[in-house]
Structure 1
Amino acid sequence: MDMNDNLDLQDLLNEPVIDAPAIQDPAPAAAEPTALSPFLHRIPVTLTLEAGAAHITLQELSALTPDSVVALDTPVGEPLIIKVNGTAIGKGEVVVLGDAYGLKVVELQTQLPALMG
């Protein structure tokens, strides 16, 4: 596709996603939490819940306004990806906790790669 072609957003949304984020299926049975060395207990990490991704052009990005809606690649009702420091570790759902959002863990990998030392 030439960068100067006029792009139809609906055509782009109907194209298959090639590089969607992947996560390994965690073990079905609940595993015991991994024991951490006491040295690691206070190391801060960033926990995020990824709602999905959208692949758009710079032209489409520059056309976004406060009322714009961008379709993501995650189907409605599908669990969202839980990440720690950018690494996928499981799947979860958004819950409401009073005046804030929370995370309900649905699936969790039994071994957390490179996070537990």
Structure 2
Amino acid sequence: MANSPTSAAEMAVVTISHIPGREISENLGIVFGSSVRSRSFLFDIFATFKNLFGGEVRSYTRLLEDAQHEATSRLVAQAQKMDADAVVDVHFATSQVAYKAAEIFAYGTAVRLK
């Protein structure tokens, strides 16, 4: 019987195909999570001015970081429902799904460990 983690913080989520020092006993299938985010019109006006002068638009960076964390949390939640111990081969993708709305998509393989 697998020792399933009790929280998302305890689940290993890696971009490689294995968990170092552990053996995979069962492949449970693909899991995914996504988050679609957009900003308000007023925020976009500020960002436009920032673009005129150059430099990082930190609030966009935070927006995408928040979306990545949310997508990862949803991936982990799906893996936990499958009684997984870890998620391997995790990848991230992004796309524009609507005008001024971006999606962050995370996917990987849920596994049980020996």
TM-score, structure 1 as length reference: 0.25
Q: Which has the higher helix share?
A: 2
Q: Which has the higher strand share?
A: 2
TM-score, structure 2 as length reference: 0.25
